[in-house]
Amino acid sequence: MKRLLTLILVTLLFWTSTFNLSAHAVDITIGAKVFNENCAGCHINGSNIIRRGKNLKKNALKRYGMDSLEAITAIVNNGKNNMSAYKDKLSIQEIENVAAYVLEQAEKDWR
């Protein structure tokens, strides 16, 4: 019994640290809606109409260290360079949803 509890605890700690569980469950459908309403003007289909190389494709996200929920959430919250901050416009949940949507779409190559 003690081994089983230890195994469960180790598994939970590994899983939590590996996947950085958020306090909120993300909703990709809402993330898509938020993206289309707020982000698609500059990032249609994962592109970037302002700076072509800084797009939302998987390789670019990885190259610029933006390939995690935390990194995308931070840039959506605070903005950077030509990108506006959205922390005063979107809720924390909306930002987490849109970050999850961006990562999912990057994995699918925005198809």
For the entire predicted model, the pTM comes to 0.78
**Beta-bridge partners for 83:** 80
Dihedral over Cα of 64, 70, 72, 74: its sign? negative
Evaluate whether 58 touches 106 at the Cβ level (below 8 Å): yes
d(CA 97, CA 10) in angstroms, rounded, equals 28
List the CATH code of the domain at 23-107: 1.10.760.10
| Closest to 64 in 3D by CA, of 111, 102, 25 | 102
pLDDT in tens, the chain (111 residues): 666 555 565 555 555 544 544 556 899 999 999 999 999 999 999 999 999 989 999 999 999 999 999 999 999 999 999 999 999 999 999 999 999 999 999 999 999
Evaluate whether 108 touches 77 at the Cβ level (below 8 Å): no
Sequence ranges of the domains in the chain: 23-107
